[in-house]
Structure formats: structure tokens, C-alpha cells
């Protein structure tokens, strides 16, 4: 599925703090929102972060592609809503990386404010990234995903009932 756990844009986890410190507050907030939405995606697969040591753990490698596609669509819809609420407008794709960064950071313009099916494959895969990071987020918080069973297209997936607040 392309991404190395704990690594995005080839930035190792250990150096992420230095990168984080360079971000503007608005960019930090934009990075926090997918993590806050993680519980909704977990609820979708009937899982949650747990302190419980017993029980089986949800294996993200066993999640079928159809479910990953739905999770990516959820993330892109969340991202579209975030950008729209913050006043971003759709523009044509920009090939110059520096110009693209300037337009996003200063003029609130973005070329991916599109329906999921209109995105290129690379962007669709990127929309899976946050959920793929969930096991690392759980591990860093000394938690795991545990459960009993979710059926999708006749296939069993591990899960537990949602009991948290949104």
C-alpha cells in the first residue's frame, strides 16, 4: 500500500518534531484534524483504541482494498470540508512546486478540492495515509486495537463495539 509506517514524504519519525516546529499554527491544526477523525474511521471498522491486553488485535494488513477505498473517501470528504470551511477555492493543478506551496499557504487555493473519483491515483492513496498510521498512534499511546469480529463481504475482521464519544 505504498507508505512505510512512520514515514511520510521520506521524513523519519525521529525528525518529525523539527518539521512540526517549523509549521504555522493553521498548518498544525490541519494536521491535527485527521488524528481527531481517527475515531470515526475506527468506528467504521468497528474498532477502537484499547488498554485491554486480552483479545485479538486488528491487523491492518488484512483489511481488504474495498474497505481501504471507503476509508480514503471518508478522509478526502473530511479534508474537502476542512478546506471549504477555511475558505479554500479550487484551482487548476500547478506543476511548479514552489508556486503550489505559495498558493496553498497564502491564497488558500488548492487543486484537489474535487470529488474523490476525480483525483489522481497518488492522491487517492495519500488519503489512506492517516488511517495507515493508526497502529503507530496506538503504539505510541501504549494502546492497541482489539476486538471480536466484523463481517465485510463474508470476510471476518477483528473489532469491538464503539463505546466512546465523538
* Domain tally, the chain: 1
Whole-number Å distance between alpha carbons of 74 and 89: 20
Mark out the alpha helices in 45-140 (DSSP H runs): 65-85, 97-107, 121-126, 129-132, 134-140
| DSSP three-state, residue 50 | strand
Residue at 8 is within a domain: no
Least-confidence region, from 34-48, 114-128, 131-145, 148-162: 148-162
Q: Show the cell assigned to 15.
A: 525528525
Judge whether 149 lies within some domain: yes
Structural domain contains residue 135: yes
Is the pLDDT reported for residue 86 higher than 90?
Answer: yes
Greater confidence (71 vs 56) lies with 71
Question: 152: part of which helix (H) or strand (E)?
Answer: strand 150-152
Answer whether residue 1 is part of any domain.
no
> Cα–Cα distance between 80 and 75 in angstroms, integer?
9
Query: pTM of this prediction?
Result: 0.74
Distance separating alpha carbons of residues 57 and 12, to the nearest angstrom? 26
Q: Is residue 3 assigned to a domain? A: no
- pLDDT band of 51, cuts 50, 70, 90: confident
Q: Is residue 5 part of a domain?
A: no
Q: Is residue 22 part of a domain?
A: no
Can you give the residue range of the structural domain that contains 113? 27-157
Residue 6 maps to a domain: no
Amino acid at each position: 500500500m505504498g507508505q512505510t509506517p512512520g514515514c511520510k514524504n521520506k521524513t523519519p519519525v525521529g525528525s518529525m518534531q523539527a518539521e512540526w516546529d517549523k509549521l504555522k499554527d493553521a498548518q498544525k491544526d490541519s494536521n491535527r484534524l485527521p488524528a481527531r477523525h481517527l475515531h470515526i474511521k475506527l468506528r467504521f471498522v468497528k474498532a477502537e483504541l484499547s488498554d485491554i491486553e486480552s483479545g485479538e488485535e486488528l491487523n491492518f494488513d488484512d483489511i481488504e482494498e474495498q474497505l481501504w477505498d471507503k476509508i480514503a473517501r471518508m478522509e478526502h470528504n473530511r479534508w474537502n470540508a476542512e478546506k471549504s470551511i477555511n475558505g479554500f477555492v479550487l484551482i487548476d493543478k500547478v506543476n511548479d512546486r514552489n508556486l503550489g506551496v505559495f498558493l496553498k499557504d497564502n491564497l488558500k487555493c488548492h487543486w484537489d478540492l474535487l470529488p474523490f473519483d476525480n483525483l489522481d491515483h497518488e492522491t487517492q492513496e495519500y488519503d489512506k495515509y492517516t488511517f495507515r498510521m493508526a497502529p503507530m498512534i496506538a503504539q505510541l499511546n501504549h494502546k492497541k486495537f482489539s476486538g471480536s469480529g466484523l463481517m465485510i463481504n463474508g470476510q471476518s475482521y477483528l473489532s469491538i463495539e464503539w463505546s466512546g464519544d465523538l
